[in-house]
Amino acid sequence: MRQGLERVGNAGSVAGAGAEGRDRPASTDLVLGLDVGGTKLAAGVVAPDGRVLSWLSAPTRVEEGADRVIARHLELGRRAVSDAGVEWSAIASVGIGCGGPLDPVAGIIESPPNLPGWRDVPLVAIVESALDRPAAVDNDATAGALAEYRFGAGRTRRVRHLVYLTISTGIGGGLVLDGRVYRGAAGNAGELGHLTVEYRGRPCGCGRRGCLEAYASGTNIAARAREALAAGEAQSTLRGIPEITALDVAVAAAAGDPVAGVVWDETTAILGSAMANILDVFNPELIVLGGGVTRAGDQLLQPVRQAALAQAMGPAARSGDIVLAELGDRLGVVAAAAVAFERFGNAAAADMEQLRA
């Protein structure tokens, strides 16, 4: 296996998708999902019920520039189709999830903070030309909301009002309100990572100050830990780690490290306050947390959930809950595929909506 590449073999299933033991779907049902992240690229073949038939990932390496990253992602997609054991004729369309801002109608990526240099990139046109399939793109967090609603926590709980928050390199959000994805007037609704939590606070990649992302994204959890180490003389196991990550902070905090503990507690407090705001503004039945930082599990979920439900107004707190995403590491690919299923049609999803209603 090529270095830096993760793989899951044929008929790999997604948690919560109820996939195992069923016949392979009709060839025209399959979608190639391409997940564009600031840290990682992923590709996989997905069936209409959310089953992942193959999954590959590789580092993004944003410093290479958009053209080279896209070329490597297209090759990753071709290998994902081969790994799924299906012919190219089985792939009906391509779905793409990418951080915003972007124009989902025109298929153009409009300079996301976590993809420096990607200014007005016509990604859908590039993918359609290279793969000879219709393609559709959407904000990765909007796509994540759609995927968790159709195939994950939203389906398990049969809700119709769901907010999804991805906490990873950056922080993004997606909204499903009354059973429909809400995108707003310009197609970029749900930028919840740019809610202001401290109006004179840390600078954010979006150009503003004090955004939620500037404190609680994986990138900025690690940055705040480095700043805390530089500002004080306290003993910390983090001092021996050359490139600190959010996971390092979580592990050290759980082990009682004083510096990591302060950073982690501040992070969960800030997230809890932001989730209370989201509960009050949108009054969802469910907030679903996904992304790499949520690998911390209950160490993240429990304090965030407790703070949010305590701070939200009574009606919102009583009717809502906060859970971790059910689709796991394959969520990005399922989310990307969900964009194509929504745009180009998916009879299986329509059947599920009838059952939910």
* pLDDT tens, residue order, the chain (357 aa): 333 444 444 333 333 333 333 344 444 589 999 999 988 999 999 999 999 999 999 999 999 999 999 999 999 999 999 999 999 999 999 999 998 889 999 999 998 888 999 999 999 999 999 999 999 999 999 999 999 999 999 999 999 999 999 999 899 999 999 999 999 998 889 999 999 999 999 999 889 999 999 999 999 999 999 999 999 888 999 999 999 999 999 999 999 999 999 999 999 999 999 999 999 999 999 999 999 999 999 999 999 999 999 999 999 999 999 999 999 889 999 999 999 999 997 544 444 444 445
Are 6-140 and 153-325 in the same CATH fold? yes
Count of all residues that appear for the chain in the document: 357
3-state secondary structure of 65: coil
Q: Looking at domain 6-140, does it have CATH number 3.30.420.40?
A: yes
Residue 113, CA distances (Å) to 96, 101, 133, 145, 354 in order? 18, 9, 28, 21, 38
Assigned CATH for 153-325? 3.30.420.40
Model confidence, pTM: 0.84
Domains of the chain, residue spans: 6-140, 153-325
The pLDDT of residue 357 is 53
**Cβ atoms 159, 283 nearer than 8 A:** no
